[in-house]
Amino acid sequence: MKKLIYLKYGELTLKGKNRVNFIDCLYRNTIKALSQYNLNIVKHFDCMTIYEINDKNIESIVTILKRIPGIFKIIIAYEINNNNLSNVGNFVVDLIKEKNFNSFKVETKRHDKSYPINSMDFSKQIGGIILKNIENKQVKMNNFDLLITIEIKEKSAICYFESINGFGGFPVGISGKTLVLISGGIDSPVAASLLMKKGMHIDFLTFITPPHTSDKALEKVKLLTKKITLNCLLDQSKLFVCNITHIQNELAHMKDSSYQITLMRRYFFRIAEYLMNKYKYDAIATGESLGQVASQTIQSMQTIESVLKPGTIVLRPLLSYDKLEIIKLSKEIDTYEISIQPYSDCCSLFVPKQPTTKPTIGKALELEKDLELVNDLYQRTLKKYIKIID
């Protein structure tokens, strides 16, 4: 008998001819994420198994596994080397005789279709062995206390009693590269995590405006990126930090202050597109949620995004989420408490008292034209005011 962690792939099983590539990617990611432990990780076509586990590490290993995109179910299980029915039955009896239960159900999954006993009959006979060896127990098909699941493999059987939900989705790195605009708020970290769930490698871009924004605001963003990537165990992500103080100071002289956040975000997108082209990203991503704030109306998104060249993709994974849904997700990925720390980013600091909710491209271009220095400051920012933190 071997104790193991048994991992189910879930959505990867739909990938047909590309399935092997997805499994290989998930296998590499899992080895990297668990590199601090001395484990034997084995990949199979339909699952992954982890052996040589120290019991004292199981909880921390499972915590990491729950965050790895591509894993659907995490199961603490026992592998029986001989799948003979009586051998399996006696083993199950030994496993459960100290458990506190009155009723049970046995559920068998026969992966080896050549096995001489079908799944239903195997479950019935295992149930009979349990009833014979443990007194005062009963079988129930519904509302049972204990579910005993047995999976019959070619030369072995795996037994377990419960499963833990994994993160699901696809392994990180299988779907391309995205540059995520991240602030210190609640939304953008959640957006980044959802993109990882769909297999995207992510790097981050944040904007600072010292002395208006503090060093603590930047440290907050760094903490968020580490939390999202589990200190780069899930993804070896970079953080681009762009100082736009000079641009922001020029935008403060606008004739129509209601457009200030619109023009600021237009420069965010210009800078993001510059980095996207330089470092070969497939897309830009934001934490925008439709209608949540003034800069996230359809008209605002259209006006802000119009600075990008045709064909540039902007991903907005939170577009249809409401705030409560986003908060729930932020708590699940453990970024919420960091996000609500009271250190303001440049987006929240420079929001005008009455921001426009229906900006037009024509008006934005007109206002930018009046700001004579802003384009020179933009070019200077690209050359001098972007640094990379690995």
Cis preceding-peptide flag for 342 (omega within 30 of 0):
no
The contacts of residue 20 (CB under 8 Å, 6+ apart) are: none
**Residue 302 among known ligand-binding residues:** no
Query: 323 CB contacts (<8 Å, ≥6 apart)?
Result: 289, 292
pLDDT digits (tens, 9 = 90+) for 181-205: 999 899 999 999 999 999 999 999 9
* 91 annotated as belonging to a binding site for a ligand: no
What does residue 49 show for φ and ψ, rounded to 5 degrees?
A: -125, 145
- DSSP for 258-314, please give it: GGHHHHHHHHHHHHHHHHHHHHT-SEEE----TTSSGGGSHHHHHHHHTTSPTT--E
62: number of Cβ within 10 Å = 15
* Residue 128 is labelled as binding a ligand: no
Domain residue ranges in the chain: 2-165, 177-389
Task: Using only the alpha carbons of the chain, give its radius of gyration.
Answer: 27
Quick one: pLDDT at residue 294? 74
Q: Does the structure show a pLDDT above 60 at 77?
A: yes
- Does 244 appear as a known binding residue? no
Q: Is 122 known as a binding-site position?
A: no
Measure the N-to-C terminal CA separation of the chain; round to a whole number of Å.
44
Phi first, then psi, for residue 222 (nearest 5°) are -60, -45
Of residues 185, 243, 253, the one with CA closest to residue 209: 243
| Residue 297, marked binder | no
**Mapping DSSP to helix (H, G, I), strand (E, B) and coil, where does residue 221 land?**
helix
Q: Using CB atoms within 10 Å of the CB of residue 207, give its burial: 0 to 12 exposed, 13 to 18 middle, 19+ buried.
A: buried
Backbone angles phi and psi of 164, in degrees to 5: -115, 135
Model pLDDT, residue 390: 80
Give the three-state DSSP class for 363. helix
Tokens at residue 2, please?
């071997």
Say how far apart CA 185 and CA 340 lie, in whole Å. 7
pLDDT in tens, 202-219: 999 999 998 888 889 999
Q: Is 207 annotated as a binding residue?
A: yes
Do the Cβ atoms of 102 and 136 come closer than 8 Å? yes
- Give, in order, the Cα–Cα distances in Å from 241 to each of 202, 271, 342: 15, 11, 20
Q: What percent of the chain has pLDDT over 90?
A: 80
Q: pTM of this prediction?
A: 0.90
Q: Which residues contact 331 (CB under 8 A, 6 or more apart)?
A: none
**Rounded to whole angstroms, how far apart are CA atoms 42 and 289?**
40
Q: Which of 370, 345, 124 has its CA nearest to residue 263?
A: 370
Instruction: Summarize pLDDT for 238-265 with one digit per residue, the tens.
Output: 999 999 999 998 888 888 989 999 999 9
CATH of 2-165, one of 3.40.50.620, 3.40.50.720, 3.30.565.10, 3.30.2130.30: 3.30.2130.30
- Among 70-79, 182-191, 216-225, 291-300, whose mean pLDDT is lowest? 291-300
What CA–CA distance (Å, rounded) separates 267 from 244?
9
- Examine the pLDDT at 38 and tell me if it is beyond 80: yes
Q: For residues 21 and 5, what is the distance between their CA atoms, to the nearest angstrom?
A: 22
pLDDT tens, position by position, 318-370: 999 999 999 999 999 999 999 999 876 666 556 667 889 899 999 999 999 98
Q: How would CATH label the architecture of 177-389?
A: 3-Layer(aba) Sandwich (3.40)
